[in-house]
């Protein structure tokens, strides 16, 4: 099966300002992975590991230092202006912060409809409104939200607006850059369930970026673990959770909460006892 997204030997360097003797740091250090149509791949790692830089290089919002990004067989990094416009319709992103990613001066209907108008400038106002309302209802927003401003919504509702905006142009690939990191735990579950629903109903392919393995546990069928710009391990969900190979993956697994509160309590006690034994 051919991948919808193929990242090969991707490198992104950010040169130091001033005189430095330690060389040029690599935010992304020669990484490769594939995402297959209809799957959700989790890209997991702590802050500063290079996850968001990877997303921006894939979308050509940042120019990689070297490497190749192929989308449906075409090299994204060699696309001209018109080809990039078409690609960015097919590959959309949902950002982490639902507060700063929405223009506070625009009404919700305009935010969601903006992409539709860009890619279909001949659409009538009524057709546009109908499409926007259909998308709003799909993500759990009401039609009467159409003329409201982002300030009238909670963080979870704003993230639904961001998801609706991304899905409105009917993309084939949705990149979610830590979309629940700034939300309360109960709201996180709602957004993850929504993405799972969208994946099943729309046949979406998702690259889901997160800083912990707990977030991607139920949404993603494969997981890539990233540390210091490198992919340390990639595999099926069961392999990563039940038999992690790399020490960094093992350390991430160690802090994933147990769904069973009794097991979780026992594990916390065991960890405290281990720390006490280590003390002189």
Contact yes or no for 52/252 (Cβ under 8 A): no
**34-52: average pLDDT:** 94
* Residue range 204-233, pLDDT digits in tens: 999 999 998 888 988 999 999 999 999 999
Question: How confident is residue 255, by pLDDT bands cut at 50, 70 and 90?
Answer: confident
Average pLDDT, the chain: 88
Whether the Cβ atoms of residue 205 and residue 3 lie closer than 8 Å to each other: no
Rounded to an integer, what distance in angstroms lies between the CA atom of residue 109 and that of residue 169?
Answer: 14
Residue 205 — left, alpha, or beta (φ > 0 → left; ψ -120 to 50 → alpha)?
beta
236: which strand partners?
A: 222
In the three-class reduction of DSSP (H, G, I as helix; E, B as strand; rest coil), residue 28 is classed as: strand
Assessment of whether the complete model's pTM goes beyond 0.75: yes
Q: Which residues pair with 111 in a beta bridge?
A: none
> How do the domains of the chain map onto residue ranges?
3-246
Task: Assign domain 3-246 to its CATH superfamily.
Answer: P-loop containing nucleotide triphosphate hydrolases (3.40.50.300)
Tokens of 65: 């230092």
Q: Which of 189-193, 241-245, 271-275 shows the lowest per-residue confidence on average (mean pLDDT)?
A: 271-275
């Amino acid at each position: 099966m051919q991948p919808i997204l193929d990242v090969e030997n991707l490198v992104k360097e950010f040169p130091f300002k001033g005189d430095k003797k330690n060389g040029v740091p690599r935010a992304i250090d020669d990484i490769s992975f594939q995402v297959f149509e209809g799957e959700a791949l989790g890209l997991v790692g702590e802050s500063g590991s290079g996850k968001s830089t990877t997303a921006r290089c894939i979308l050509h919002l940042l120019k990689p230092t070297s490497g190749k990004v192929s989308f449906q067989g075409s090299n994204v990094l060699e696309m001209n202006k018109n080809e990039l416009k078409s690609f960015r319709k097919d590959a959309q992103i949902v950002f982490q912060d639902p507060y700063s990613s929405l223009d506070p001066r625009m009404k919700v209907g305009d935010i969601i409809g903006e992409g539709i108008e860009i890619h279909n400038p001949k659409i009538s106002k009524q057709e546009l409104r109908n499409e926007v309302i259909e998308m709003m209802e799909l993500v759990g927003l009401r039609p009467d939200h159409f003329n409201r401003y982002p300030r009238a919504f909670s963080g979870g509702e704003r993230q639904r607006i961001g998801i609706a905006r991304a899905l409105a142009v009917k993309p084939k690939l949705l990149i979610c850059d830590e979309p629940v990191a700034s939300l309360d735990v109960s709201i996180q579950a709602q957004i993850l369930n929504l993405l799972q629903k969208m994946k099943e109903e729309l046949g979406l392919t998702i690259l889901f970026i997160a800083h912990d393995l707990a977030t991607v546990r139920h949404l993603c069928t494969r997981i890539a673990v990233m540390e210091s710009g490198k992919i340390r391990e990639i595999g099926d969900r069961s392999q990563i959770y039940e038999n992690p190979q790399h020490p960094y993956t093992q350390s991430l697994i160690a802090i994933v909460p147990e769904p069973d509160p009794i097991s979780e309590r026992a594990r916390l006690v065991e960890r405290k006892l281990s720390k006490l034994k280590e003390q002189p």
